Amino acid sequence: MKVEKMRDIVEIKGLVKKFGEKAAVDGIDLGIRENEIFGILGPNGAGKTTTINLILGILKPTAGTIKVLGLEVLRHEEEIKNIIGFMTQETLVEGDLTAKQNLELFCNLYHVDKSEIPKRIDEALIESGLSNVSDQKAGSFSGGMQRRLALVRSMMHNPKILILDEPTTGLDVQNRIEMWSRIKKLKEKGVTIILTTQYLEEADELCNRIAIIDQGKIKAQGTPSELKAMIGKGNVLEVVSNTQDARKIADMLESKFKIKATVAGEKVNAPLLDKGVKLFNQIVGEISKSGYEVFSIGMHLPTLDDVFIKLTGSSLRDSIGENTSNITRARMMSRR
């Protein structure tokens, strides 16, 4: 039986964007499929937002092409405006307008049929959980309420594609988890979502496929499971030391245990494959004898951060501090 290949709703080939001599986007190729959540994962300055602005036609590429539903972005700007919705990483609601007026404004900007506007506004207010405050000024809303309003506002013209540029930046843990739920529901309704993020757990939780971008280049792409498989089967050793001893620990792992380790600042990562606890205990013993300064040592199943360290030599986890563990704890509490 022949399996029909899912079509790419967004096609990006050889995309380059230079600012002066610096390439913010440097030869990107991407195919984003219909009705998937596609994540673009990378640190600040990696080229995520520039890529989004190129897809939207806000910036013109130095080289390469972008097609949305077969339409070239630079040649079909008006048609593409009706296909794509966009929510910026900054919460830009009109504070002097009510929630209802914010939604009405965007309906008019997108030329929604006037007979449809009341229905769409009511549906958006219900979807965002803002029906009971529809006549209050948006400037009086909490950060989470404003983000919910910004999300539904970006959908007033029923776009086929929704671009979310770091949609949970600045939100507390509970509001972030709530936003994840709303994004999943949009996918269930058939919306294709392009999501940029620097939160590892967010990408793992939401995305069907992920592209890891660093310094304007795609380092790898695939499903979260495919990316983690790059590390190999089994656990990953993680040692946190000082910068000088981290390098020495990595050298020791390679010379004594034939394990190739990656050093990212004060952190040493190395795949243990299927050798597990026995090898881990041997390594702990060797490190103890060596006298190296060690702040923590442990092992865990491969994560997207391990993938990022392997590909770039740096960690994304450091840029999010304690947030990831806080999110995990909050989700566990919510399931009790």
Q: Determine what percent of the chain falls in helix, strand and coil, rounding each to the nearest 5.
A: 40, 25, 30
Question: Per-residue pLDDT tens for 269-321?
Answer: 998 877 778 889 999 999 999 889 999 999 888 888 888 888 877 766 554 44
Token code pair at residue 36: 């998937």
SS3 233: coil
DSSP state of 335: T
Q: What percent of the chain has pLDDT over 90?
A: 59
Cα–Cα dist 139/135, whole Å: 12
pLDDT at 327 over 70: no
Q: pLDDT value at position 318? A: 53
Residue 41 region by backbone torsions, left for phi larger than 0, else alpha for psi between -120 and 50, else beta: beta
Cα–Cα dist 333/259, whole Å: 38
pLDDT at 205 over 60: yes
Token code pair at residue 110: 């997108």
Question: Per-residue pLDDT tens for 67-96?
Answer: 999 999 989 988 888 899 999 877 678 889
Q: Is residue 33 within a helix (H) or strand (E), and if so which, with residue range?
A: strand 22-33
**CATH 3.30.70.860 in the chain, residues?**
229-334
> 42 falls in which pLDDT band (50, 70, 90)?
confident
Q: pLDDT value at position 6? A: 64
According to CATH, the topology of domain 229-334 is: Alpha-Beta Plaits (3.30.70)
> 173 falls in which pLDDT band (50, 70, 90)?
confident
Question: Per-residue pLDDT tens for 223-266?
Answer: 999 999 988 778 899 999 998 999 999 999 999 999 989 898 89
Q: pLDDT value at position 322? A: 40
110 exposed, middle or buried (CB, 10 Å; 0-12, 13-18, 19+)? middle
Is it true that domain 8-228 has CATH number 3.40.50.300?
A: yes
Q: Which residue has the higher pLDDT, 77 or 170?
A: 77
Query: What Rg, from alpha-carbon coordinates, does the chain have?
Result: 23
Residue the block writes with tokens 């041997």 = 282
**CATH 3.40.50.300 in the chain, residues?**
8-228
Cα–Cα dist 151/70, whole Å: 26
pTM, to two decimals = 0.82
The amino acid at residue 49 is T
Cα–Cα dist 239/44, whole Å: 25
Cα–Cα dist 42/40, whole Å: 7
pLDDT at 330 over 60: no
